[in-house]
A and B are shown apart, each in its own frame.
Chain A
Amino acid sequence: MKILEVENINKYFYDPIRFKVLEDISFSVEKGKLMSMIGKSGSGKSTLLYILSTMDTDYQGKLWIDQELVTGKKNDALAEIRNNKIGFVFQFHYLLQEFSCLKNIMIPALKLGIASKEAIEDKAMKIMEILDIKEQALKPANKLSGGQQQRVAIARALINDPAIIMCDEPTGNLDSKNTAIILDIFKNLTKEMKQTIITVTHDESFALQSDEVIELKDGHLI
């Protein structure tokens, strides 16, 4: 099943001059795959990821997520899609410093507002157990090591059972040991939980171990 599909994506930057960043990008991702997007910096891979994530709406072409056409939807509707169907992991963890790890993980689910607070808390604890960060649950986010914080961010991405997890350089700020741990987690998620993950990376070893790799060069797929 195609969980994400793009067709003829074109995007321009206008500042400082009109410049074509992405040209006729078309591809699709199957459910349960770990896909890496690689390319030199400036190749447009992050730009493409932000379009896939629905945060960037200024492009031509079409984007389907979970069989649903999202191109052309209003900002509020897109926010709901992100809340419901997409989990995010960034190079820097972007946790809310004032909150405990547990609360950070719970926020997207509280925002979704379907399950009760107790149920969400249970679920968050289970995910933390899988990711081996259960002991850190009640610590404030800024008291954790970089690798642990990134795992909290992954847990936050997982809490709403998203259709896709999108990552922008998830290991870019980590040492090789922590990189291995994250890669392990991603492989387990795709194999055992049929989780789809799309990640932008320029870590060769990371890319080699994923199910699919697409490479961008000067805005083209190669």
Chain B
Amino acid sequence: MKNINKDIAVTYLITGKRMTLIATIGVLIGMSLYIFMNSMLVGFDRISNDTIFKNSPQIRIFKDDAISQPLYQEEGVQNIIINPKIVPASDAIDNPNEIINLIQKEDFVTTISPQITTTVFYNIGKLQVPGTVTGVNPEQANQMFNIKSNIVEGDFENMNNNINAIALGRGIAKNLSLSIGDNINITSSKGVSRNLKVVAIFKTNNTILDKTKSYINLNAAQQLLLQGNTYITDINVSIKDPEKATIQGQLLSKITGYKAESWLEANESIMAAFKMRRLVITFVSLTILIVAGFGIYNILNMTVSQKINDIAILKAIGFKGKDVISIFLTQALTVGFIGIVGGILLASLFIAILQTVYIGGDIGYFPIGFEVQKFIQGIIIGGLITFLAGYLPAKKAAQVDPISIFRK
């Protein structure tokens, strides 16, 4: 009984070769573009995040500015500070080692890097160039920000345990005509001057950073600020799943009592741009798939109109409504199945080719991969659309009243 329905469906597909082919190609293209565009989106997001993580920590723990409060508070008495200001306290984190130990106990944390950032002058003779130095533990900082991948001259390894070493941005090195092995004098805001030796030069994707930023050892930074070896202004934390940074940041904030800001909050405007990109690509790829669905719908509708006499006689000789639905749905699903399989193959081909295209710069090879999740998503959505596009005309066919056809 099933067989005769299938038999009729297949015969219709074969005799209507051209229409079948057009519908199949429609699904194939829609499907391949959907998978391709969404895989590309995943690649873009990954490379964007990688770029962000080179410059900003996933979670940054620091002492937030506090507004001055009345010292003495009593119920029923309203204390007013007419002109409240930021409390001029130190921005250091108290007892940083204890806090680092606390954070380390959380199992979602992967890397911790304490840091001091301070403004300095780079001096060459009478020339003074303003900038910022970042005091870090070189090994931990490299683990977190992959600084080594940005090094263009020298070796970041030489920073380890060398309190007199400095890694300079390429812009500063160029402006002050410094190269590896040269000495540079820096002056801190506390008036402390130090001579440091250039051991590495780095280049980020941000020229302004390259003109101002340099790395020194944590201890050297503490000395520049006339502080002891427990003075830390920021604790940077990397976590296993960066997408959870906001929630896990709040948790760290509760544990430590300091403000913990996630990269998502710190880069809000960039995140908004990413969101836009995601929306546009998702919308466009879905639209293409839906248009392919309309292709099936349209062609099947035409078939139903053309075969209306066949449908009438089939119903007269004992085919039930569900048999008629099965005949036309089989056609849609066959077209959909071939289209989806072809689309997967074509998308795989696109991805395989693009993976070998070299873009250069920070990106390197075109950022696209075989995203299994996107393939599955495409199959499900494609299958659903085909089903709907087939079911609606099939339903219409099942409702054909044979008498109205025979009476004509």
Q: Which 9 A-B pairs have the closest CB atoms?
A: A83-B318, A94-B313, A110-B4, A113-B1, A98-B15, A79-B320, A82-B318, A108-B317, A76-B320
CA distance A168 to B407 in the complex (A): 10
Residues of B within 8 A of A12 (CB): none
In angstroms, how far is the closest chain B Cβ from the Cβ of A128? 17
Whether B363 is near chain A, meaning CB under 8 Å from some CB there, is no
Contacts of A53 on B, CB cut-off 8 Å? 316
Residue of A nearest to B307 (CB): A96
A55-B402, A88-B316 are contacts. A76–B321 as well, Cβ < 8 Å? yes
Docked Cα-Cα span, A79 to B310, in Å, equals 16
* Interface members, chain A 114-160 (any B CB < 8 Å): 156
A94 and B309 in contact, given A110-B3, A113-B1 (Cβ under 8 angstroms): yes
Q: A79-B319, A156-B317 are in contact. Are A111 and B1 (CB under 8 A)?
A: yes
For the complex, count residues of A whose C-beta is within 8 A of B. Answer: 30
Asked whether B345 is an interface residue with its Cβ less than 8 Å from the other chain, the reply is no
Interface residues of A in 38-67 (CB under 8 A from B): 46, 50, 53, 55-56
- Evaluate contact between B316 and A55: CB separation under 8 angstroms: yes
Cβ contacts A to B, 23 pairs, < 8 Å: A50-B403, A76-B321, A79-B318, A79-B319, A82-B318, A83-B318, A87-B317, A88-B316, A88-B317, A94-B309, A94-B312, A94-B406, A96-B8, A96-B314, A97-B310, A98-B15, A107-B317, A108-B317, A110-B3, A110-B4, A111-B317, A111-B319, A111-B323
- Residue of A with least CB distance to B16: A98
B315 within 8 A of A: yes
B318 near A75: Cβ-Cβ < 8 Å: no
Cβ contacts B366-408/A at 8 Å (1 or 0 each): 0000000000000000000000000000000000001100110
Judged by a CB distance under 8 angstroms, whether B11 is at the interface is: yes
> Chain A: which residue is nearest B11 at the CB level?
A98
Interface residue? B12 (CB, 8 A)? yes
Any chain B CB within 8 A of the CB of A206? no
Residues on B facing A (Cβ under 8 Å): 1, 3-4, 7-8, 11-12, 15, 309-310, 312-323, 402-403, 406-407
Contact residues in B for A75 (Cβ distance below 8 Å):
320-321
**A contacts, CB < 8 Å to B:** 46, 50, 53, 55-56, 75-76, 79-84, 87-88, 90, 94-99, 107-108, 110-113, 156, 168
Asked if B316 contacts A99 (CB within 8 A), the reply is no
Task: Give CA–CA (A77, B341) in the complex, Å.
Answer: 39
Q: Which of B4, B321, B322 contacts A107 (CB 8 A)?
A: B4
Which of B12, B309, B318, B321 touches A108 (beta carbons < 8 Å)?
A: B318
A157 to chain B, nearest CB (A): 8
B402 to chain A: which residues have CB within 8 Å? 55
**B318 contacts A80, C-beta separation under 8 Å:** yes
- Contact (Cβ within 8 A) A99 B11: yes
Q: What's the Cα separation between A111 and B310 when bound, in Å?
A: 15
Q: Assess the A82–B407 pair: CB atoms within 8 A.
A: no
Given contacts A83-B318, A97-B310, A111-B1, 15 further A-B contacts (CB under 8 A): A53-B316, A55-B315, A55-B403, A76-B321, A81-B318, A82-B317, A84-B318, A87-B317, A88-B316, A94-B313, A94-B316, A96-B310, A107-B314, A110-B4, A110-B7
